Amino acid sequence: MGKTTDSPAAGSKMISADVVSVLLMALGNTTITKDQLNMMSAIDGTRTASSYEHQLRSIVAKAKELKKRVDDGETFAAVAAPKRGGTATPATPKKRKGDGADDAPTKKLKPAPKSRAKKPQVEAAPTPKPADDDDVNLPDDMADFIKSEKQWEEDQLV
């Protein structure tokens, strides 16, 4: 069953209130009008304009505070990206051509043997057991297994 895209939250993405505050401050608009709140309510379809007004009070206050800080000359430094990769040697060293790490030639893979048409199997008569093999518990089809094992070895070694 597929996902429905009719739900109000289907296309929404969550961002922090601080990010919205910065956007309001950057746009130079630290107030939200009733018409804009009504528009949010109409687009959402589930929340009232007054619930948006209540939720956005702290965001608008933060936007006003950020605007004052920027106007006073404060600068903000972005978070540095984390350093990727370790300084220690990796557990498995990388092998590259000409690296000198492994001068031995790599093993070439043999192509897979072509499959051959199988001969129809003829039911062989069970092999009679000698009387002195009573203490050995071998399967009844042991002779067939040995023949097929020899055939397999011949096919693999050719």
pLDDT tier at 114 (50, 70, 90 boundaries)? confident
Q: Residue 129 above 70 pLDDT?
A: no
**Token representation of residue 112:** 């897979």
Question: Is position 97 within any domain?
Answer: no
| Structure confidence at residue 1 (pLDDT) | 44
What's the rounded Cα separation, in Å, for the pair 63 and 32? 11
Say how far apart CA 63 and CA 21 lie, in whole Å: 4
Least confident of 29-33, 56-60, 100-104, 108-112: 100-104
Within a domain: 93 = no
Dist CA 38 CA 34 (whole Å): 6
* pLDDT of residue 32 exceeding 50: yes
Domain contains 29: yes
Q: Within a domain: residue 157?
A: no
Task: Quote the CA–CA distance of 22 and 76 in Å, as a whole number.
Answer: 12
* Enclosing domain of residue 56: 17-71
**Per-residue pLDDT reduced to its tens digit, 37-90:** 999 999 989 999 999 999 999 999 999 999 999 999 988 888 888 887 666 666
How many separate domains does the chain show? 1
